[in-house]
Structure 1
């Protein structure tokens, strides 16, 4: 090694002047005759002069490719190929794994640039970026870190999480110029938050820039949306952003209206799936660019890139809509908890009811409870009545009847003052039938699915395969007569229409969901979750077929039943205004008593205590693994679970079978086994502290299985909602 100042390695510092002159001359000649350095190129094209390597996360959501890949940056793409932008790469034509140096896949795929580098540790030739799809940097380091944390928690791939987090691009929306963010609003008056013992203090903490965490049991009535809007305004007043996630577009519309009323127009973004691709992407861009700092939306909004996030809010965490149906199946509550912990921002979980997970957040000290005093609850909630001993004395068939005399009496009285809500657990006409003689369930001859009547005159139809069954007879006793096991919403509406011929009957369900109904007398028959809001509140509500909700073979059956009853009852006028609810269910059952007392928190605390004794979630972490018996056994033998893991099962998975028994295969769910045949499921349980190790072990085993590419697929879901 040599240098122009005459110093060279190997002891040249003490050389005589004549020798130093010779060294300088030899160096000059060597430089003059040395070939000029060529610019770095790829297939003859010049690469970027600075940071010529782009590290890319490729949109190929398979676990064995859940890593970054290095690509060369052509000089003409240098200015646009910045971290966070969308790119297109040739995956497999020189692309490689940055840790293993392996070529993978083939064809053009989309991806995101994670960072630009000066060097790569890959020894072979690199593929170059094929195209920069957009110069808009949609993936910032904060969102990338959150997506990685979610992928690791749910044993999924980063690419799958980014598909959920970043909406599809729309060029027209990107070309729009958005206004700068408005000045922070003033801190709000507590308003109806004064009804809660810690309500005003919570808003004051938000406005002061603090990060309180709370589980809020909201009082029944329509004020919940305005109360959320006031919490958002308090956060904005501190110079920070706020994010609100609700289960459905109907709830989002109510919070949206409350925010417009409180903050004015164009001060927040609304992110819902039914907004259309252009509108939704434009709203998302307004959040990413900082034009607005408040967001309300449904499930996918949990990843919204709000700047200086100061508050995350989830409404009704018990709604199944908060759990994504696409891999890796993240839950909004868990993602917002991650955001609150990582970003040190405030957290608010609100609901009319209370889940066991919410009760655990309070019992662990992670969050505090915001509730109203019992006197306030009694004034605000409707009166709840059950079919008890007095009713049986007057009506011997009251306890067994679907509509006992008390329900008829309350319905007649309520219709004098306004609309009456009738909640029916099942949709359709008669979704479950049985033999009148032996009570054997009526099933399809082709797939053993349940037969149902879709109206009073049509032939029976299989609820799974859709085939007509015009000539059914019982395979057990040979009978030809049927009786209804479960009556659906349409049949109920038909019966009530005959009983109250002068009163209009409206239905709200999956096929047609009503958002609001007038305050005039009417019967509103609805399935759970589809109840419309009545102007001025319902005069009364009938909660029918309580046994159908409580009889589900699932750990959450009681919790879910109480939540659905409370959400319907919360739409009824207060007891002071004459509102009454009748529940047709066994009065001594714990969820029924919790509804009568309007005590969802007490019910959740007791459920949490019992689950802690049994080691069930949320006290423990659990994973469900399903597949064909052979594939499941092979997977369980290969996975290296933590030493404290416990495997429960395998057992036959509900809704699957060979087609000859009572378990026939319905439509395939996202991420499930591809055969559609008989499958089994095993539950893996670990104590607190081992959840991350369990997820990592399952992810490693699943990645190895996918890399081999043989055998039937296995489905892995962390923290499944249904473990019945």
Structure 2
């Protein structure tokens, strides 16, 4: 007698365990009826003795009805929250990063909101931009040579944003909004990704000048759970829309005709949860999969994007008419003057004259009054006697306070020379504002930093002292911009500190009014020349050339392997078996922690062509260690070995 056929569902489990990152077969009982693909289900997990969540990825039938299979317990919802295109993207991202697909999906699929789901009709009418909006968008797009062709042909481009204000809209926001409007007019959806909420608000303001609210789906961590789920459901519809959000928005399940990322060098675009993939890399994988247009827009050029331009993967798009900031570099002679202190005379006079006409921006490196203190005698950094943290001052004459534990240090003594006198080693935003307030009597001083967020300042005389990235918009632009603390910023022990500083300074310079001076204080060399000439791509090429012999990113890919000494050794042996040379590994070295057993970490450098083999080998090692540890020590499996690919700044 022939076996009867039966329906089976292949389910991706929503589980953090690496050994469960595959499809599991479950029988579909007849009472469930037709189960759509991509829906949420609950299934039994025999190894855990409980019911877990999952997604139906495939429906099939088999003749071997005698094969023992557990049955799908229930269908949570009939809404297809995991369309096939999203599953393929999650799988590709996970495989590239040696991670789990369920970890990727957890970033994009929100928790179910029953009321929102019941009210959802999935029949939004297509929105077409008005003729006036299309004309305005066309003017912005046509200002960039080749951009229209990239959008029409679904090409890939690195776009240099010219710092111009379009009314109250920044130039970069105008580019993204105009490109999205062009795609929407062609009946295609767009995904726009920005680093933080300030950029998101500015981009939304640019979009609202061109499009109605119903055309925009916002993916924002500030949203409530119902709002986020409503936006996610909107992105599942066939009617084209514009998805705007932070790094997780790059996974939005729309059928995208365009994916665009603003300021790809911002570290906020790097995911902080496993598998730690940067939105820039996800956009590349998505473009390959879907054939959409791809834009990286920025005032500066990261080495990652410049590498793609050099390989011909991206087209270099620039404005037909480049209106650039007027950057003034301070001379060494000016900085050597006794009266220069932090601000040379040329910058001081420029700021004083401009402050009589409108707002002046002064960028500093750190918030607070005096973020760090040193011994007045031997200049040893002052540390907390309780926890070893750095001591700082909240205001002039205040008791030193530890930046880690918050304790006051009333009876501090230097551990090197026993001196009890402290000296201010750095000036934060509040101390700079205090000093400039005395130097500019009668001028309003505004502090803008993490503790004092300011979004916008009026077109009135004022000194705005802001930390990097916290600079508010000024109506009509700043009458002058002074960039302080450049040498201190460049001293950070960071492989990418040069391009990071160039990005911070360029974004601040872009806020200046047309023709307003931008003073870079105390910096010379290649990074200063790149800002003065606004030739960021040349600086990125030079950085790439320096890193190539060292096999440092992005000239090569780098993976971080961390775990017990035995687990790391086994993982590295697996890399040797796939042909990776021994000199590709740096370390292992001990990790400073109280973990038992002690942990070590190693860096693995490899070419892009070996990425698939390396990621597969490291993933296999993670799964093997997890299975072994779970069998022997219960739930310690997940900490036996951890792997993180595409480290931007290798540091052992």
- TM normalised by structure 2 equals 0.91
**Counterpart position of 2:57:** 114
**Cα deviation, residue 494, structure 1:** 2.5
Whole-angstrom distance in 2 between the partners of 1:676 and 1:426: 37
Whole-angstrom distance in 2 between the partners of 1:120 and 1:707: 32
In the alignment, which of 456, 464, 474 is matched to residue 524 of structure 1? Answer: 464
**Counterpart position of 1:708:** 628
1:722 aligns with 2:649: yes
**Counterpart position of 1:439:** 379
**Counterpart position of 1:47:** none
In the alignment, which of 343, 354, 368 is matched to residue 315 of structure 2? Answer: 368
Q: CA 1:590 to 1:519, structure 2 compared with 1: closer, same or farther past 3 Å?
A: same
**Counterpart position of 1:219:** 162
**Counterpart position of 2:271:** 324
The 10-residue stretch of structure 1 (293-302 or 125-134) with the greater mean CA deviation from structure 2: 125-134
**Counterpart position of 1:647:** 585
**Counterpart position of 2:117:** 174
**Counterpart position of 2:608:** 688
**Counterpart position of 2:435:** 495
SS in 1 for 2:349: helix
Assess if the C-alpha contact under 8 Å between 1:644 and 1:687 holds in 2: no
In the alignment, which of 501, 507, 517 is matched to residue 447 of structure 2? Answer: 507
Whole-angstrom distance in 2 between the partners of 1:424 and 1:676: 42
**Cα deviation, residue 510, structure 1:** 2.1
**Counterpart position of 2:486:** 546
Whole-angstrom distance in 2 between the partners of 1:535 and 1:596: 24
Q: CA 1:599 to 1:170, structure 2 compared with 1: closer, same or farther past 3 Å?
A: same
**Cα deviation, residue 365, structure 1:** 0.5
Q: Could you list the per-position Cα deviations for residues 632-660 of structure 1 after superposition, in whole angstroms to 9, with x for gaps in the alignment?
A: 4565456556423500123466xx567xx
**Counterpart position of 2:21:** 66
1:89 aligns with 2:89: no
Map 1:352-367 → 2, pairs under 5 A? 352-367=299-314
Assess if the C-alpha contact under 8 Å between 1:53 and 1:120 holds in 2: no
Whole-angstrom distance in 1 between the partners of 2:373 and 2:49: 52
Q: CA 1:591 to 1:324, structure 2 compared with 1: closer, same or farther past 3 Å?
A: same
Map 1:245-644 → 2, pairs under 5 A? 245-307=193-255, 309-372=256-319, 376-377=321-322, 380-392=323-335, 395-398=337-340, 401-575=341-515, 579-587=516-524, 589-627=525-563, 632-633=568-569, 635-637=571-573, 640=576, 642-644=578-580
**Cα deviation, residue 676, structure 1:** 10
SS in 1 for 2:624: helix
Whole-angstrom distance in 1 between the partners of 2:614 and 2:65: 32
Whole-angstrom distance in 2 between the partners of 1:533 and 1:358: 27
Q: Could you list the per-position Cα deviations for residues 360-402 of structure 1 after superposition, in whole angstroms to 9, with x for gaps in the alignment?
A: 11110011101136xx43xx32322222045257x3453xx22
**Counterpart position of 2:90:** 147
Whole-angstrom distance in 1 between the partners of 2:51 and 2:339: 69
**Counterpart position of 2:167:** none
Q: Could you list the per-position Cα deviations for residues 484-514 of structure 1 after superposition, in whole angstroms to 9, with x for gaps in the alignment?
A: 2232222222222333342222222223422
SS in 1 for 2:558: strand
Assess if the C-alpha contact under 8 Å between 2:41 and 2:53 holds in 1: yes
Q: CA 1:388 to 1:234, structure 2 compared with 1: closer, same or farther past 3 Å?
A: same
Whole-angstrom distance in 2 between the partners of 1:478 and 1:511: 34
Number of residue pairs matched by the alignment: 632
RMSD: 2.6
**Counterpart position of 1:668:** none
Assess if the C-alpha contact under 8 Å between 2:150 and 2:293 holds in 1: no
* Structure 2: tracts of 5 or more residues without a match: 165-169
Whole-angstrom distance in 1 between the partners of 2:351 and 2:45: 65
**Cα deviation, residue 471, structure 1:** 2.0
**Counterpart position of 1:56:** 11
Whole-angstrom distance in 2 between the partners of 1:121 and 1:652: 52
Assess if the C-alpha contact under 8 Å between 1:657 and 1:677 holds in 2: no
* Structure 1: tracts of 5 or more residues without a match: 3-36, 41-49, 93-103, 659-674
Whole-angstrom distance in 1 between the partners of 2:307 and 2:464: 36
Q: CA 1:353 to 1:169, structure 2 compared with 1: closer, same or farther past 3 Å?
A: same
Whole-angstrom distance in 1 between the partners of 2:424 and 2:257: 53
**Cα deviation, residue 569, structure 1:** 0.7
**Cα deviation, residue 181, structure 1:** 3.3
Whole-angstrom distance in 1 between the partners of 2:109 and 2:387: 40
SS in 1 for 2:115: helix
Q: CA 1:85 to 1:516, structure 2 compared with 1: closer, same or farther past 3 Å?
A: same
**Cα deviation, residue 461, structure 1:** 3.0
Assess if the C-alpha contact under 8 Å between 1:641 and 1:698 holds in 2: no
Whole-angstrom distance in 2 between the partners of 1:262 and 1:698: 47
Whole-angstrom distance in 1 between the partners of 2:477 and 2:598: 48
Q: Could you list the per-position Cα deviations for residues 565-621 of structure 1 after superposition, in whole angstroms to 9, with x for gaps in the alignment?
A: 00011001122xxx111122232x211121111111111121122222332221211
Assess if the C-alpha contact under 8 Å between 2:331 and 2:522 holds in 1: no
1:163 aligns with 2:106: yes
**Cα deviation, residue 63, structure 1:** 1.3
**Cα deviation, residue 74, structure 1:** 3.1
